Amino acid sequence: MGPLIEGKTAMSPTTHQTADTTIIGGGFFGSMIACHLAAKGQRVILLERGENLLERASHNNQARVHQGYHYPRSLITGLRSRENYTRFVAEFGDCVHRGFDKYYAIGREFSKVNAAQFELFCKRIGAPLSEAPIQVKALFDRGLIEEVFRVEEAAFDARKLTAMVWYRLEKSNILVWTKSEATRVEHSAGGIRVTANRLGRTVAIQSNQVFNCTYSDLNGILRASDLPLIPLKHELAELALVQPPPILAKLGITIMCGPFFSLMPFPSTPWHSFSHVRYTPHAGWNENTADDMSPQEARAMGEPVSRVEMMRLDALRYMPDVAAIIPKKSLFEIKTVLPVNEKDDGRPILFRRDCGLPGLHCVLGAKLDNIHDILDEIDNAGALAARHAA
């Protein structure tokens, strides 16, 4: 297969295509899995519904490179994040922004952890933590905030990540089709067939295996293919982008662990992302059966009215300088997690092989640094399959 890449190289119309692996979904996970398999010599085709790669959740998120601090109620997620942070920063260092100081504060009331528990948790996962300087503590209302810690946490630049991903895909000779929506997956002689709508034409792609990397739309392709759904929990999330006042410009702030807020650089813009546990989720629902609302249906209802003012009014109680933020725009995205993590807030990966069909694998990454766990899992599964075949 030649290096045919949509928008980069002219290609003739085609209604049939073959590959070793078809990847559905050109977010960070689909793109990185495509590169990983191509590096092992596979011919890979990547289908993305949108006009560009990494335009959905891989862009519309808080851009936090997790190092575990965020998950004091899930030791496993904390530990995995710690390990993956190092790997992520090493591999995607050019896309990682560290030009700010990051602080985690602990609320006195309504918090699910106290300062001592948070400190102990960080110690257990080996995450660096120190006391915040006095001038930073002074930014908080100490009647509402028990303690403030300095931590090491970075943010990624999703635009730089997109450019890096394109570069890798091009170098790997992967066939990338944007504006191409997979509409059905089915068994076919000698493998698995994906039907896709590509620029108004129907295309059939024959391959040995298919990775469904569509994140919130994971069940969309399963529904359309009459396959059992994976129980998922969705949340329509608002991430506000705001101009911080100068005193907060070089700071990232997260208050744990309850109905609080986060304000931290969003490196692909000059702004900070601003989110609030109470106001960021506009709606939440489970998708267990075909009768439940799909993310596509939710999107079709349009964007809700912004709640950035509610976020601001609550956050300034804890940190009075938040009063001076200037809202710029809001990103709305559907956040998807496994229902099992509703209580502990953990963010494990989902990697389900032969998901309703032999050769159809479903992947849910939950946060970007999980990519390393997914790629390890794919390699382990490949090695296991090879052992069984031998």
Ligand X SMILES: Cc1cc2nc3c(=O)[nH]c(=O)nc-3n(C[C@H](O)[C@H](O)[C@H](O)COP(=O)(O)OP(=O)(O)OC[C@H]3O[C@@H](n4cnc5c(N)ncnc54)[C@H](O)[C@@H]3O)c2cc1C
Return the number of the residue (147 or 238) whose C-beta is nearest ligand X. 238
> Which residues, 304 to 343, sit near ligand X by CB under 6 A?
333, 335
Ordered alpha helix ranges (H), 225-305: 295-300
Q: Residue 264 interacts with ligand X (CB under 6 A)?
A: no
Backbone angles phi, psi at 340, to 5 degrees: -65, -20
The answer to whether residues 38 and 174 touch, using CB atoms and an 8 Å cutoff, is yes
Minimum CB distance to ligand X, residue 156 (Å):
8
Which residues neighbour 47 within 8 Å (Cβ) at sequence distance 6 or greater? 22, 23, 24, 25, 26, 177, 180, 181, 182, 194, 196, 198, 205
Amino acid at 208: N
Q: Residue 102 interacts with ligand X (CB under 6 A)?
A: no
Q: Which of 367, 372, 373, 378 binds ligand X (CB under 6 A)?
A: 367
Q: Residue 260 interacts with ligand X (CB under 6 A)?
A: no
Q: Residue 55 interacts with ligand X (CB under 6 A)?
A: yes
Q: Which two tokens stand for residue 38?
A: 């191509």
Return the number of the residue (165 or 322) whose C-beta is nearest ligand X. 165
Return the number of the residue (58 or 268) whose C-beta is nearest ligand X. 58
Torsion of CA 179, 180, 181, 187, to 10 degrees: -170
Q: Which of 21, 29, 42, 74 binds ligand X (CB under 6 A)?
A: 29
**What kind and span of H or E run contains 97?**
strand 96-97
Classify residue 190 as left (phi > 0), alpha (psi -120 to 50) or beta.
left
Return the number of the residue (5 or 239) whose C-beta is nearest ligand X. 239
Cα separation of 243 and 248, whole Å? 10
Minimum CB distance to ligand X, residue 113 (Å):
19
Amino acid at 322: V
Return the number of the residue (183 or 243) whose C-beta is nearest ligand X. 183
Q: Which of 68, 72, 107, 220 binds ligand X (CB under 6 A)?
A: 220
Q: Residue 236 interacts with ligand X (CB under 6 A)?
A: no
Q: Which of 255, 368, 374, 378 binds ligand X (CB under 6 A)?
A: 368
CA atoms within 13 A on the CB side of 239: 22
Q: Which two tokens stand for residue 346?
A: 């953990």
The answer to whether residues 254 and 265 touch, using CB atoms and an 8 Å cutoff, is no
Cα Rg of the chain, angstroms: 22
> Which residues, 132 to 191, sit near ligand X by CB under 6 A?
181-182
Q: Residue 268 interacts with ligand X (CB under 6 A)?
A: no
Torsion of CA 69, 72, 77, 81, to 10 degrees: 10
Q: Residue 377 interacts with ligand X (CB under 6 A)?
A: no
Q: Residue 257 interacts with ligand X (CB under 6 A)?
A: no
Q: Which stretch binds ligand X (CB under 6 A): 46-54, 164-172, 184-192, 203-211?
A: 46-54
Q: Which of 17, 21, 22, 61 binds ligand X (CB under 6 A)?
A: 61
Minimum CB distance to ligand X, residue 57 (Å):
3
Site residues, ligand X (CB under 6 A): 24-30, 47-50, 54-58, 60-64, 66, 181-182, 213-215, 217, 220-221, 237, 239, 333, 335, 365-369
